[in-house]
């Protein structure tokens, strides 16, 4: 009867330490989740600011395109007016050229053929008529030269305006491409923002669940500790302590050490009662020493967990994908207990491992080789 009572004491002690370890793990996970939310909030704010900058840039580009459209319309109107003026000058040049040609033909005809000579009085009159006709021709030439100069200036101005129009049209095409690029970038950032907000909401729900789990765990540990304290007063139990070195439970890299973890952002301290070993997915988890499985089930915050009693000190294996043993099973040193969780697990492919001595967590690194 005494032996059974002692065994119950040991198992109960193991339960207390298991729940305490679970609570510490929940607290650590809670701090990690809060930190992740803060990081997401920073990313959300940064992305929102970037979207605002892109939208401002889009407005500037749209405004610039509107200005270019106004400039294009103005230049096109000017070109239309220039075309009318040039057409008028071309017609005037043609008319003056015809008049000059007619006058020159008339002037340089031989006298017998020049019908107007018959109507001129005498030789002096004939000379005066020819002089007036030559003056009219020269004046017509001067007017034609003036019109030709205006025509040339109008043509050169039209060419300049056309070059300006071509330049503005090319600029508009380039700006439109920039506008499309900004629109695509904005859509990408909006999709990113939507994803970040969704992740943030999921993480916030997870934090709320963790807070609830921590409160429930604190109440459970408080009750178990009171029961254990009562039993300890009835009889003193000396538990076996870990001695020597034990094999690693899984091959991998330690990614989280034993001891106090300080969160600089929240200025909080969380005690990690074990180590976390990153391993290949579905790697076999081995028992470090012979003993009895006193727990094999799911623990909030720890996931699938196995606790082995080695005669007084305990080893804890968490974040398992599956079990190979059940509660009450006797296990040998090196026996497979289960498999490491896959990449779908929140923490990835890793094993949480603890060693408990006389109800207290000890540094597993001191006992592994």
Q: What is the pLDDT of residues 316-359, one digit of tens each?
A: 898 899 899 998 899 999 999 999 976 555 556 899 898 888 66
Pair 84, 198 in one domain: yes
Buried b (16+ CB within 10 A) or exposed e, 260-278: ebeeeeeeeebebbbbbbb
pLDDT at 357: 80
Where among 175, 207, 237 does a domain terminate? 237
Where among 189, 211, 237 does a domain terminate? 237
Pair 115, 262 in one domain: no
Total domain count, the chain: 2
| Of 91-105, 181-195, 199-213, 240-254, the least confident | 199-213
Pair 218, 251 in one domain: no
193 has a pLDDT exceeding 90: no
Q: How far apart are CA 340 and CA 320, in angstroms?
A: 5
What does the chain come to in residues?
Answer: 369
CATH code assigned at 342: 2.70.70.10
Q: How far apart are CA 182 and CA 175, in angstroms?
A: 10
Pair 231, 243 in one domain: no
Structure-block tokens of residue 218? 């604190």
pLDDT at 330: 94
Pair 27, 134 in one domain: yes
2 has a pLDDT exceeding 50: no
Where among 237, 254, 275 does a domain terminate? 237
What's the mean pLDDT in 59-77? 87
Domain limits for position 232: 1-237
Pair 140, 278 in one domain: no
281 has a pLDDT exceeding 60: yes
Pair 218, 313 in one domain: no
Q: How far apart are CA 241 and CA 314, in angstroms?
A: 9
Structure-block tokens of residue 24? 């510490």
pLDDT band for 8, please (50, 70, 90 cuts).
very low
Pair 244, 233 in one domain: no
DSSP 8-state class, residue 329: -
Specify whether the CB–CB gap between 295 and 305 falls below 8 A.
yes
pLDDT at 16: 64
Pair 20, 9 in one domain: yes
pLDDT band for 3, please (50, 70, 90 cuts).
very low
Pair 326, 193 in one domain: no
Pair 41, 162 in one domain: yes
Q: How far apart are CA 278 and CA 255, in angstroms?
A: 6
The pTM for the full model equals 0.43
Digit-coded pLDDT (tens) for 206-259: 666 655 555 554 554 455 445 545 654 676 766 578 988 999 999 999 988 888
């Amino acid at each position: 009867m005494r032996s059974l009572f002692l065994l119950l004491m040991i198992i109960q002690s193991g339960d207390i330490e298991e729940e305490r370890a679970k609570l510490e793990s929940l607290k650590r996970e809670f701090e990690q989740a809060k930190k992740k939310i803060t990081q997401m909030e920073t990313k959300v704010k940064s992305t929102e600011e970037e979207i605002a900058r892109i939208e401002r840039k889009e407005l500037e580009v749209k405004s610039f395109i509107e200005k270019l459209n106004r400039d294009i319309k103005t230049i096109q109107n000017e070109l239309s007016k220039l075309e009318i003026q040039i057409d008028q000058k071309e017609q005037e040049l043609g008319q003056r050229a015809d008049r000059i040609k007619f006058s020159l033909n008339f002037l340089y005809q031989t006298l017998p053929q020049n019908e107007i000579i018959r109507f001129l009085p005498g030789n002096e009159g004939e000379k005066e008529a020819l002089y007036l006709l030559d003056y009219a021709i020269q004046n017509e030439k001067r007017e034609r030269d003036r019109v030709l100069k205006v025509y040339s200036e109008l043509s050169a101005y039209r060419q300049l305006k056309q070059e300006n129009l071509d330049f503005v049209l090319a600029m508009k095409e380039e700006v439109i491409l920039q506008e499309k690029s900004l629109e695509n970038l904005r859509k990408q950032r909006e999709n990113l923002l939507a994803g970040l907000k969704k992740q943030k909401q999921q993480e916030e729900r997870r934090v709320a669940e963790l807070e609830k789990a921590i409160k429930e765990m604190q109440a459970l540990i408080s009750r178990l500790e009171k029961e254990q304290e009562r039993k300890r007063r009835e009889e003193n139990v000396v538990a076996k302590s870990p001695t020597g070195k034990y094999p690693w439970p899984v091959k991998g890299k330690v990614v989280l050490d034993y001891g106090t973890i300080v969160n600089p952002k929240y200025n909080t301290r969380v005690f990690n009662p074990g180590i976390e070993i990153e391993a290949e997915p579905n790697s076999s988890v081995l028992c470090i020493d012979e003993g009895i499985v006193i727990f094999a089930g799911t623990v909030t915050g720890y996931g699938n967990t196995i606790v082995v009693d080695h005669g007084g000190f305990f080893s804890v294996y968490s974040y398992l994908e599956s079990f190979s043993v059940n509660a009450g099973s006797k296990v040998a040193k090196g026996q497979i207990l289960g498999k490491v969780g896959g990449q779908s697990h929140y923490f990835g492919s890793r094993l949480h491992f603890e060693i408990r001595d006389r109800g207290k967590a000890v540094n597993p690194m001191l006992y592994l080789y």
